Structure 1
């Protein structure tokens, strides 16, 4: 036990120092950490084309964590039904495009993730309805869906497939980037983050970062030609921007998650802490 404490101790002063820094310094260090992580992935000896598959797999693991929570605790406190419904919506629209254009390993992973997400929705809506807190899950879904739909009508890939599928593809990309917002609102409203919910959101953060890294490496490896393979205009920059937005939305939570794990404490958004219970 003492050996484990000595191994962790050097990290705590660094986290305490970081907590005291002004927002501009934290932002700079966050961007720098992201760049260093990208460089590390860049030079690791593995096929970087598999990053997207790894990202989807991490997302699937996050869903399995939720299933374990629901099965073990028999309650859905702290979970956002709206985030799960938005996740199901973007997965369903992405599957439509996948069946038309790809039919590969991504189709299989998305299908499995959609099925498990629908199961989570079913459990929250019907089996564990008594523990659901709709008053805390108060970010209207149309605040997220309508802007994404409008944006997809304006910005979509200029490639040789049916216009409807191009718009659907754009919609699912934009919706995915903001689908976690209702879950973050729930956590802000409850102040304290239940451990399994925290594990799930952290898995989403890791998946989003790996997804973003996949696109960055694809663009770099193709020397920018990938930007034009999807058509000229705003689509390619919009895809990359949406990946970056997803990553930054979850970056702050991931920092506090890591801090709480290092300290052996449960994450409180109000600034207080207590011991972590698994």
Structure 2
């Protein structure tokens, strides 16, 4: 009985949220995000673990892709252009990691890049017949070129080589928008099969955890972390990129959870969601 009442209350809340104008939905999303940050800050003592958790969730999402490609023998619903952008920012970030810091994240990025390249290989060659090329119509130069220009204008002011600093900024900006082609493909198809929706939801959770890591680190250091990242607009742009990544996927994650609660295996997206 309690379970039925709970599901009924959640359904009523979902209907109420769905009827609200975009500005109210955006406000509710901000409130929900702030509440989640407060909860995480109270529960997680070492906020560095949030970044590791973000990497772990991202790896889980890639594992879902690997299962889909090897067991289902199809890449339907996946955006090759998003995978290309992911490989590009990971390759640039791996280069920066080797020449600027070299730590555990270097190994994590190496593994992520290797698996992403494998996904690209499978989509381009082994499972090409199931690739929805006509639906994957996002022009990636719309994000690559602005990210490159922005990196030239706003980048870290550290003591590293100027080329390395520009590359660092480029991968930060590109990561924030790399999921856009995947969202466009899902917008075109309107119906998202389970493994693809699991993968994109994992990306959303990973982005949120990464954003929470940066925000809480800034709070913990009373803003000193911003000066450690450099001066000028760069520290603010890092935080903005993390927030953009989170909110790009927020709407999709809402409908994913709503579908999961409703017991639907296939996610159906309304018009204009992503």
Please report the TM-score for the alignment, with normalisation by the length of structure 1.
Answer: 0.94
Q: Look up the match of 1:209.
A: 208
Q: Look up the match of 1:171.
A: 170
Closer, same or farther: CA 152–45 of 1 in aligned 2, 3 Å: closer
Q: 1:19 Cα deviation (Å)?
A: 1.3
Q: Distance in 1 between matches of 2:156 and 2:55?
A: 22
Uncovered stretches (5+) of structure 1, i.e. residues with no partner: 272-278
Q: Distance in 1 between matches of 2:135 and 2:269?
A: 15
Moved over 6 A (4+): none
Q: 1:29 Cα deviation (Å)?
A: 0.9
Q: Is the 8 A contact 1:62 1:201 kept in 2?
A: yes
Q: Look up the match of 2:249.
A: 250
Q: Indicate yes or no: 2:218 matched with 1:230.
A: no
Q: Look up the match of 1:180.
A: 179
Please report the TM-score for the alignment, with normalisation by the length of structure 2.
Answer: 0.95
Question: Counterpart of 2:222 in 1: which secondary structure?
Answer: coil
Q: Which moved more, 1:43-52 or 1:110-119?
A: 43-52
1:122-175 deviations in Å (ceiling 9; x for gaps): 000000000111111111121111110010000000001111100000000000
Q: Look up the match of 2:94.
A: 95
Closer, same or farther: CA 70–5 of 1 in aligned 2, 3 Å: farther
Q: Distance in 2 between matches of 1:17 and 1:4?
A: 20
Count of residue pairs the alignment pairs up? 270
Q: Look up the match of 2:268.
A: 268
Q: Distance in 1 between matches of 2:149 and 2:184?
A: 23
Q: Is the 8 A contact 1:85 1:121 kept in 2?
A: yes
Q: Distance in 1 between matches of 2:72 and 2:270?
A: 24
Q: Is the 8 A contact 1:57 1:109 kept in 2?
A: no
Q: 1:95 Cα deviation (Å)?
A: 0.6
Q: How does 1:127-166 map to 2 (within 5 A)?
A: 127-166=126-165
